[in-house]
Amino acid sequence: MRVEPSWYLVLSALLFTIGVAGVLIRRNAIVLFMCVELMLNSVNLSFIAFSKLNGDLNGQILSFFVMVVAAAEVVVGLGILVAIFRKRSSASVDDVNLLKG
């Protein structure tokens, strides 16, 4: 029995689903960000598994760009979080309801 790249694809689907569940269930904005990171990482895993399946390095390059964009996203997102926390002293997404109709 050998580990095939398709096993990693199934694992990636599992991790992505767990990330989606976290985004839907949790209220803490920082934990929401972590769940988004988990989803990005699971997609990276499937990119790299497909790269191995097809014998093509372009999947790894795409995964590299995902990592760079995720880093930028985290910096801006956490900056917004800190700014919101200063105004409302809460990190819960339920407290950011000023646009409620």
Partner 1 sequence: MSPLHAGAILAATTAGERAELVFFIILAPLAVVTALGMVLNRHAVYSALLLVVNFFCLAAFYVFLQAQFLAAVQVIVYAGAIMVLFLFVLMLLGISREDVLHETIRGQRPAAAVLVVLLLAGTIWALFAHPFSGLGADLNRVAGNDNVRAIGRLLFTRYVFAFEATGLLLVVAAVGALVLGKRAGRPLPRGSAAQREEQVP
Site for partner 1 in 66-95 (CB under 8 A): 67-76, 78-83, 85-86, 89, 91-92, 94
Q: What is the largest CA-CA distance in the chain?
A: 58
Site for partner 1 (CB under 8 A): which residue of 24, 98, 100, 101? 24
What residues between 25 and 54 interact with partner 1 by CB under 8 A?
Answer: 25-28, 30-31, 33-35, 37-38, 41, 44-45, 48-54
Residue 92, helix vs strand vs coil: strand
Nearer Cβ to partner 1, position 2 or 101?
2
Q: Is the dihedral of CA 23, 35, 17, 73 positive or negative?
A: positive
- Residue whose tokens read 């409302």: 88
Distance in Å, CB of 71 to partner 1, minimum = 6
Alpha-carbon span 47 to 49, nearest angstrom: 6
